[in-house]
Amino acid sequence: MRTSGVVVDWNGINSMGLEEKLPAGFALTTVENLAGYMRKNSLWPATFGLACCAIEMMAFGGGRYDAARFGMEVFRASPRQADLMIVAGRVSNKMAPVLRQIYDQMAAPKWVIAMGACASSGGMFNNYAIVQGVDHVVPVDIYLPGCPPRPEMLMDAILKLHEHIGSEKLGVNREQVIREVEAAALAAKPTHQLKGLLA
Amino acid sequence: MTQDIYAPSQETTEGRVYSVTGGDWDSLITEIGQTKEERVVVNMGPQHPSTHGVLRLVLELEGETITEVRAGIGYLHTGIEKNTEYRTWTQGVTFVTRMDYLAPIFNETAYCLSLEKLLGITNDIPERASVIRVLMMELNRISSHMVALGTGALELGALSPMIFAFREREKVLDLFEMISGLRMNMAYVRPGGVAQDLPAGAVKKIRETVTELRHNFKDNEKLLIGNTIWMKRTQGIGYLDLAGCTTLGITGPVLRSTGLPWDLRKTQPYCGYENYEFDVVTTDTCDVYGRFLIRMQELEQSLRIIEQACDKLDNLVGQPVMVADKKIAWPSQLSVGSDGIGNSLEHIREIMGTSMEALIHHFKLVTEGFHVPAGQAYASVESPRGETGVHLVSDGGTKPYRVHFREPSFNNLQSISAMCEGSMIADVVAAVASIDPVMGGVDR
Amino acid sequence: MSSKSGMFGAQGSGDTSGFGGLVRTAASTGSSERPYGGYFDDVADDLERAYPEFSDAIEQVVVDRGELTLHIKRDRLVEVAFKLRDTPSLRFEMCLGVSGVHYPERIGRELHIVYPLLSLTHNRRIRLEVSVPESDPHLPSLVEVWGGTNWHERETWDMFGIIFDGHPGLTRILMPDDWPGHPQRKDYPLGGIPIEYKGATVPAPSERRSYS
């Protein structure tokens, strides 16, 4: 089991589902595997193509880099029907509230891929107009670098997300994972104290 | 009273505002029917599959007919123009290429032509560089029109043309990747010429691709031209005549659909376009169908130009692709080594071993950039959407003082009110698709 | 026009090398003399014939790098624009946009507004330029003459704070509606943030060193 980076506690997901009642053990693991398998195999992306990365996202949905083989060719316009928001392109300050609103309108479980350098960190546009990374606005699961990333890179990011979704824990296991991730984040060294090759 | 932005409806100073987010239409319609209001304001918000990017359209409806349409833009404003003031002139190419991201080569070429005007080296650009620029521009025109046709058809409900168009676009993107290294936003056209020469075998591959494209364009033609549903959706829609176009400053396929054969490649040629044989495609119906036909036929004209460019390239083998003035020409020769892309070993041998001057030029040009004499210049190219013009102001330094892009989509989008008022909502989608706005260019 | 001094070198010391005290001023092109060359003479003559108060309205005629620029006084702008559009020998039917430029050192003429014009009938291009001071950044709107300048003037207001009198709806178009300040002015910061990475911080592009 790996404690991967972001485990998002979607607001108020105090569901009365089966997985909340099961004690940790064989039954819960089976439900986790089944739920994970079903969730990852037909992720429907929400259309959030903004700029150049959107064109590569469309190419990913096209014939050569077929998204339909993952069940993802239906880009749902309505966020209520979408699971995955691929933020493709630069998010300006004017667009940020709209981005947040669309994210909030999506129903849990939902995931976010920040596609491209501009969505991950502001990219080459370090200025007044662009949000320096959509993680200022929405919680991000996968950061995908590139300007723009090739459709194969987007496919790689989505497959990694599939693995992540397939192995997500539910119920009491999930609470434990959240606790572990929080403890790790509190104990982690801050970025400016890390010593890389530049120091 | 706090405003819940997710509430289905709320009272405001303008009246009742309903928020539709995929719920039950019947309840909404009964509610609206109970009010006495005839006018309904619909916000096709920035996130919408049919708005070609982040365009916000505010429609005032009476029934299904639109009485007023206003466009809200600025959701993709990136401050590129201000950003270029803090970078050297050559680095500006990488910024500028991301404005109209479907036609990056046109942005770069317009910028470089304007910069070359300021430098005064317009006549010193080697012929091979101009031919390569023309070749890349026409390939870019094809890939941009493919997106326009594909997404336009998709928005009107035709799904197959999108798949066919993107399939052909992939072939063109393969060519881009072979020549410049990137599929999009290539930063290939540099001030003084192009970044590097074509690789071996490129001309052969281009010729093969042209044959394939010419054969495969017929797929989309057979599907859409003469298709009754397509014609009913697009004929008579989005009408804008010549007077409307000139007062709004509209160029490109929208202007040519009024019957005026205005194409900058013919009327004010640049990059040697006067030496190529091609026709300017016009229709005279001023509607969406006419613009669609123009785009389809421009594809064939672009293929003709590409073939002629390939013939010229065969005669210009071995010529330089950068201006001869070493104080401006981009110094490095890139090649792929064991650790990725970097300067080729011959170039490093030259600058480190043979020529001190070459080393100094390389150093100064990459870190500081070249100086451009003070003044202002305006140059324009005929991009797939119209006239892309660049107004450059220099104060004598190595960084631009002011870069302003006259993007065709910015002007063309102003016409949406004139085109759509009085028509139905479905026609707005068709009209916007026919203008083919690219919001990166509109908002910059 | 603008003066630059590099960031390299000592300030306020006994530096006699010239590096610290090197200040370069860039000169702006002055008015050109007749004959202008090409079709520019025809344009100037036709405009003078159509608009007799030519010498009052036109401050400067600059022919530089193959382009004609007419510097016009702001109160005559609309009249000259109508003449340029309607006179049969001129017929500049299209205004391709409105571009603002901010020169903070030119006191009294800080904000310049540039209109590139295109004549479809005669296949000609010229440029109109108007200067306004920052203290009174008003000039008449050209929406009556060329409708396409509507959004361009909104953009110039948004980015530079130039107020176009007579514009049907001068609001922000690119920035959010309640944004303070005018981003493309020279005294508005680029707004970048320093980039942190392991052990190093790269400053924003406007804060980096420059030697030229």
CA angle C97, C103, C109 (to 5 degrees): 85
C-alpha separations of C159 from A129, B112, C175, C186 in Å: 12, 24, 8, 11
Cβ partners under 8 Å of residue B166, min gap 6: A58, A59, A62, A63, A64, B146, B147, B150
Cα distance between the two ends of chain C: 16
Share of chain C above pLDDT 90, in %: 24
Statement: residue C2 has pLDDT above 70: no
Whether C116 has its CB under 8 Å from any CB of chain B: the answer is yes
- Walk along chain A (199 residues) and give the pLDDT tens digit of each residue: 333 445 555 654 555 566 677 777 787 788 888 888 888 888 888 878 888 888 998 889 888 888 888 888 878 778 888 889 999 989 999 999 989 988 988 888 889 999 999 999 888 898 888 999 898 999 999 999 988 899 999 999 999 999 888 888 777 788 888 889 899 989 988 777 777 776 5
The pLDDT, as a whole number, for residue B389 is 92
Tens digit of pLDDT for each residue in B392-441? Answer: 998 888 889 999 999 999 999 999 888 888 888 888 888 988 988 998 88
Least Cα distance to B72 among C176, C144, A103, A99 occurs for C176
The pLDDT, as a whole number, for residue B398 is 84
The minimum CA-CA distance between C66 and chain B, rounded to whole Å, is 8
3-state secondary structure of B275: helix
| Phi, psi values for residue B187, rounded to 5° | 55, 50
Least Cα distance to C181 among B37, A129, B245 occurs for A129
Tens digit of pLDDT for each residue in B62-72? Answer: 877 888 888 88
For C85-202, list the strands marked E by DSSP: 94-95, 99-102, 111-119, 124-132, 138-140, 163-165, 195-197, 200-202
Structure tokens that stand for B25 in this block: 């239409």
3-state secondary structure of A75: coil
Residue B5 or B263, more confident: B263
* Measured distance CA(C200)–CA(C191) in Å, rounded: 20
pLDDT band at B24 (very low <50, low <70, confident <90, very high): low
C-alpha separations of C67 from A79, B130, B251, C63, C112 in Å: 52, 22, 21, 6, 17
Tell me if B395 and C2 make a contact (CB, 8 A cut-off).
yes
Q: What is the mean pLDDT of chain B?
A: 86
Tens digit of pLDDT for each residue in C120-130? Answer: 898 889 999 99
**Alpha helices (H) along B181-227:** 202-224
The minimum CA-CA distance between A199 and chain B, rounded to whole Å, is 23
* Measured distance CA(B355)–CA(B264) in Å, rounded: 43
Whether A38 has its CB under 8 Å from any CB of chain B: the answer is no
The pLDDT, as a whole number, for residue C1 is 46
Number of Cβ within a 10 Å radius of residue C197: 14
Least Cα distance to B193 among B137, B307, B271 occurs for B271
Whether C156 has its CB under 8 Å from any CB of chain B: the answer is no
Whether A69 has its CB under 8 Å from any CB of chain C: the answer is no
* Measured distance CA(B278)–CA(B214) in Å, rounded: 16
Which of B70, B241, B246 is the best mutation test for C, with the most CBs of C within 10 A? B246
Dihedral of alpha carbons B203, B209, B210, B212, sign: positive
Q: Are B3 and B12 in contact (CB under 8 A)?
A: no
Nearest CA in chain A to B161: A62
The pLDDT, as a whole number, for residue A26 is 80
Tell me if A129 and C197 make a contact (CB, 8 A cut-off).
no
Residues from chain A contacting residue B102 (CB–CB below 8 Å): 55
**Alpha helices (H) along C27-148:** 40-50, 54-57, 77-86
* Measured distance CA(A135)–CA(A130) in Å, rounded: 13
Residues from chain C contacting residue B398 (CB–CB below 8 Å): 212
Tell me if B82 and C173 make a contact (CB, 8 A cut-off).
no
Least Cα distance to B182 among A89, A148, A50, A53 occurs for A148
The pLDDT, as a whole number, for residue B7 is 62
* Measured distance CA(B150)–CA(B163) in Å, rounded: 7
* Measured distance CA(A166)–CA(A154) in Å, rounded: 18
Q: Are C71 and C129 in contact (CB under 8 A)?
A: yes
Least Cα distance to B388 among B165, B136, B169, B112 occurs for B112
Nearest CA in chain B to C97: B406
Tens digit of pLDDT for each residue in B255-297? Answer: 999 999 999 999 999 988 999 999 999 998 888 999 999 999 9
Q: Are B385 and C75 in contact (CB under 8 A)?
A: no
Q: Are C31 and C61 in contact (CB under 8 A)?
A: yes
Of B74, B249, B260, the CB nearest to C174: B74
* Measured distance CA(B443)–CA(A91) in Å, rounded: 12
Cα distance between the two ends of chain B: 38
**SS3 readout for B283-312:** CCCCCHHHHHHHHHHHHHHHHHHHHHHHHH
Which conformational region is residue C47 in: left (phi greater than 0), alpha (psi within -120 to 50 degrees), or beta? alpha
Statement: residue C19 has pLDDT above 70: no
Residues from chain A contacting residue B54 (CB–CB below 8 Å): 50, 95
- Please tell me the number of Cα atoms within 13 Å of C119 on its side-chain side: 21
Dihedral of alpha carbons B421, B424, B426, B430, sign: negative
Which of C105, C151, C156 is the best mutation test for B, with the most CBs of B within 10 A? C151
Amino acid (1-letter code) at residue B436:
D
The pLDDT, as a whole number, for residue C9 is 46
Secondary structure element (H or E) that encloses residue B188, with its range:
none
B63: exposed, middle or buried (Cβ count in 10 Å: 0-12, 13-18, 19+): exposed
Q: What is the DSSP letter of B373?
A: -
Check: pTM over 0.80? Answer yes or no: yes
**Average of per-residue pLDDT across C157-166:** 92
Residue C144 or C207, more confident: C144
Contact residues, A window 139-198, toward B, CB-based 8 Å cutoff = 147-148, 150
Number of Cβ within a 10 Å radius of residue C130: 25
Cis ω for the linkage preceding A139 (within 30 of 0)? no
* Measured distance CA(B46)–CA(B72) in Å, rounded: 8
Cβ partners under 8 Å of residue A143, min gap 6: A113, A114, A120, A121
Least Cα distance to B410 among C156, C121, C178, A118 occurs for C156
- Least confidently predicted of B137-146, B234-243, C157-166: B234-243
B165: exposed, middle or buried (Cβ count in 10 Å: 0-12, 13-18, 19+): buried
3-state secondary structure of A102: helix
- Please tell me the number of Cα atoms within 13 Å of B274 on its side-chain side: 4
Residue at token pair 């390389």: B362
Residues from chain C contacting residue A126 (CB–CB below 8 Å): 190, 192-193, 195, 204-205
